[in-house]
Structure 1
Amino acid sequence: MPADTLVRVQQKMEDAKTVDLSGLERVQQKLVRPPFAPKHEQVASGPPKIVEIEMMVDERLMVVDEDTGASIWAMTYNGSVPGPLIIVHEGDYIELTLKSHTRNVLEHNVDFHASTGALGGGALTHIYPGEQVKMRWKAVKAGCFTYHCAPGGAMIPYHVCHGMNGALMVLPREGLKDRDGNSLTYDKIAYLGEQDYYLPMDQNGVYKTYSNAGDDYADSLEAMRSLVPTHSVFNGSVGAVTGRGAITSDVGETVLMIHNQCNRDSRPHLIGGHADYVWESSFTDPPLRDMETWFVRGGSAVAAMYTFQQPGVYAYVNHNLIEAALLGATAHFVVGGEWNNDLMEQIEEPGPLQG
Structure 2
Amino acid sequence: MLEVTRRRTLQALGLGGAASVAGCASNAPTADGSAATTTVQDTSTPAATDVDRIAADPTDIPDPIDRDEPTEHDITLRSEEVTAEIEDGVTFTYMTYGGQVPGPFIRVRLGDTVNLTFENPESNSLPHNVDFHACAGPGGGAEATTTAPGETAELRFQATYPGAYIYHCAVPNLDMHISAGMFGIILVEPEEGLPEVDHEAYLGQHELYTDKAAGTDGHHEFDMESMRNEEPSYVLMNGEKYAWTPGVHGPAVTAGTDETVRVFFVDGGPNLASSFHPIGSVWEKLYPDGSLSTEPQTHIQTREVPPGSTTIATMNSPVPGDFKIVDHSLSRVARKGCMAVVRAEGEERPEIFDADPE
Is it true that 1:270 corresponds to 2:278 in the alignment?
yes
3-state SS in 2 of match to 1:120: helix
Is it true that 1:241 corresponds to 2:251 in the alignment?
no
| 1:306-347 Cα distance to aligned partner (Å, 9 max, x none) | 233211111111111111111111111122111222211245
Using the alignment, how far apart are the partners of 2:310 and 2:123 within structure 1? 31
Q: 1:335-350, aligned counterparts within 5 Å?
A: 335-346=344-355, 348-349=357-358
Equivalent residue letter for 1:34: D
Note closer, same or farther for the CA distance 1:231–1:49 as it changes in structure 2 (3 Å cut). Answer: same
Cα displacement (A) at 1:88: 0.9
Q: 1:1-355, aligned counterparts within 5 Å?
A: 1-2=10-11, 33-42=56-65, 44-66=66-88, 69-152=89-172, 155-176=173-194, 184-201=195-212, 209=219, 216=221, 220-243=223-246, 244-246=249-251, 247-263=253-269, 264-280=272-288, 281-346=290-355, 348-349=357-358
Return 5+ residue gaps in structure 2 as ranges.
Answer: 1-9, 18-54
Using the alignment, how far apart are the partners of 1:260 and 1:312 within structure 2? 25
Return 5+ residue gaps in structure 1 as ranges.
Answer: 9-31, 177-183, 211-215, 350-355
Using the alignment, how far apart are the partners of 1:298 and 1:6 within structure 2? 22
3-state SS in 1 of match to 2:219: coil
Equivalent residue letter for 2:219: T
Using the alignment, how far apart are the partners of 1:308 and 1:131 within structure 2? 48
3-state SS in 2 of match to 1:223: helix
Percent identity over paired residues: 31
Pair member with larger Rg: 1
3-state SS in 2 of match to 1:135: strand
Using the alignment, how far apart are the partners of 2:123 and 2:116 within structure 1? 21
Cα displacement (A) at 1:89: 1.1
Cα displacement (A) at 1:208: 6.6
Equivalent residue letter for 2:126: L
Equivalent residue letter for 2:295: P
CA contact (8 A) 1:251 1:335 kept: yes
3-state SS in 2 of match to 1:278: strand
Cα displacement (A) at 1:125: 0.2
Runs of 4+ residues deviating >3 angstroms? 1-8, 205-210, 346-349
Using the alignment, how far apart are the partners of 1:282 and 1:91 within structure 2? 16
Equivalent residue letter for 1:161: S
Cα displacement (A) at 1:186: 1.3
Number of residue pairs aligned between Structure 1 and Structure 2: 305
Using the alignment, how far apart are the partners of 1:47 and 1:267 within structure 2? 37
Superposition RMSD in Å: 2.3
Using the alignment, how far apart are the partners of 1:343 and 1:206 within structure 2? 43
